[in-house]
A and B are shown apart, each in its own frame.
Chain A
Amino acid sequence: QQQVKQSPQSLIVQKGGISIINCAYENTAFDYFPWYQQFPGKGPALLIAIRPDVSEKKEGRFTISFNKSAKQFSLHIMDSQPGDSATYFCAASGDTDKLIFGTGTRLQVFP
């Protein structure tokens, strides 16, 4: 199964709150899980990525949590800011480099 399922489709968070986006996959051959941020009119920008040998990776306000047994991974955005308002995509890849993307989550952070 090549799908990556992403939820929720949209998310509204108050400034300073925590934004959480979840993804699930079926293919156990996947070994690279990046998150991309996309603003209107721009290409996806790599935010943070994780490989299955660790359960968590943190970069600034962004954290990936990875659960290998459940085949799930999530993005946490701490202290969410209006400037974080964008569409977020999870993705996965395995022995081939092609990224299989989730369907995206539109995040809106209100002041």
Chain B
Amino acid sequence: DSGVTQTPKHLITATGQRVTLRCSPRSGDLSVYWYQQSLDQGLQFLIQYYNGEERAKGNILERFSAQQFPDLHSELNLSSLELGDSALYFCASSRDPHQPQHFGDGTRLSIL
């Protein structure tokens, strides 16, 4: 158990809808990262927050947004969902930037 908690584990929705994925980092970790894992793209970095502030951005679509709250949990919002958004979405956390990242077990998003 990595100590990173992601909810929900599975999410099934339709095209055009909006969903919110939640991540609680390990106790004491200030940095949260979001990654997408799909069969064709592999594991891709989306975005990083550190202590509530956006720190780095990857290949995140404009339809996707994230935030980190004062209690350090993070949410990833995906809107106007398309079939191609079906993937596993992982959250990772680390004590500080440049420290090892520990991953949660992910949210499996299926778009029908």
Contacts and interface: CB of A to CB of B under 8 A. Distances in A.
Contacts of B45: 98-100
A32 B99 CA distance: 10
Contacts of B42: 101-104
Interface residues of B, number: 25
Given A44-B103, A46-B100, A103-B42, A98 B33 contact: yes
Contacts, number: 56
Interface residues of A, number: 21
Q: Per DSSP, are chain B's interface residues mostly helix, strand or loop, or mixed?
A: strand
B55 interface: yes
Interface of B: 2, 4, 31, 33, 35, 42-45, 48, 55-56, 58, 90, 92, 94, 97-98, 100-106
9 contacts: A41-B105, A42-B105, A43-B106, A46-B103, A97-B97, A99-B35, A99-B43, A101-B44, A102-B42
